């Protein structure tokens, strides 16, 4: 399916052009490889999350590209089985607990002062 016909999620449409191009290019290639559907979407998001982080209703470039969550460090087989936690685009590895705390504060997350780094990432994911 050509890039112009691929339905682009609203969070991608609100993101920088580079994020849009990345998502479309990977999605189109994945559709050729795997067919349209969930696997092509997962592949596109996995590549996008390597260089971008979800911030509210859009994606922004990361300061340092790399894995964003424990699931991204797993093998493909383990990922398909749902092993490893994901935080919905929140860059868990790329931020300190203090940075996640400050972001949670801006989002109005209650109980943040008693949360671990993982709990903060989960709370931010739910608030976005």
Residue 75's CATH number? 1.10.1740.70
Shared domain for 39 and 100, answered yes or no, is no
Contacts of 117 (CB under 8 A, 6+ apart): 92, 96, 97, 100
| pLDDT attached to residue 113 | 95
Shared domain for 27 and 76, answered yes or no, is yes
Shared domain for 77 and 117, answered yes or no, is no
Whether residue 51 is contained in a domain is answered as yes
| pLDDT attached to residue 55 | 92
What are the residue ranges of helices labelled H in 35-94?
38-51, 76-80
Q: Give the range of the structural domain holding residue 118, as residue numbers without chain letter.
A: 95-128
Whether residue 63 is contained in a domain is answered as yes
Shared domain for 46 and 67, answered yes or no, is yes
Core vs surface per residue 20-40: b (16+ CB within 10 A) or e: bebbbebbbebbeeeeeeeeb
Distance of CA 75 to the CA centre of its chain: 17
| pLDDT attached to residue 111 | 97
CA angle 39, 41, 44 (to 5 degrees): 110
What is the number of other CB atoms lying within 10 angstroms of the CB of residue 46? 18
pLDDT by 10-residue block (mean), the chain, 128 residues: 64 96 95 90 91 94 88 82 86 94 96 96 93
Q: Is the pTM of this model over 0.85?
A: no
| pLDDT attached to residue 25 | 96
Task: Tally the domains of the chain.
Answer: 2
Whether residue 90 is contained in a domain is answered as no
| pLDDT attached to residue 5 | 57
Question: How many angstroms separate the CA atoms of 127 and 107, rounded?
Answer: 7
| pLDDT attached to residue 84 | 82
**Nearest Cα residue to 99 out of 63, 70, 75:** 63
| pLDDT attached to residue 128 | 85
């Amino acid at each position: 399916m050509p890039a112009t016909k691929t339905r682009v999620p609203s969070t991608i449409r609100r993101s920088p052009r580079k994020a849009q191009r990345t998502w479309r290019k990977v999605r189109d290639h994945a559709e050729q490889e795997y067919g349209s559907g969930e696997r092509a979407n997962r592949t596109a998001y996995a590549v996008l999350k390597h260089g971008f982080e979800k911030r509210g209703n859009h994606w922004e470039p990361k300061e340092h590209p790399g894995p964003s969550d424990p699931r991204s460090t797993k093998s493909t087989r383990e990922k398909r089985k749902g092993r490893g936690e994901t935080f919905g685009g929140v860059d868990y590895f790329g931020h300190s607990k203090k940075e996640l705390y400050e972001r949670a504060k801006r989002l109005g997350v209650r109980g943040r002062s008693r949360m671990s780094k993982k709990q903060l990432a989960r709370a931010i994911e739910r608030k976005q």
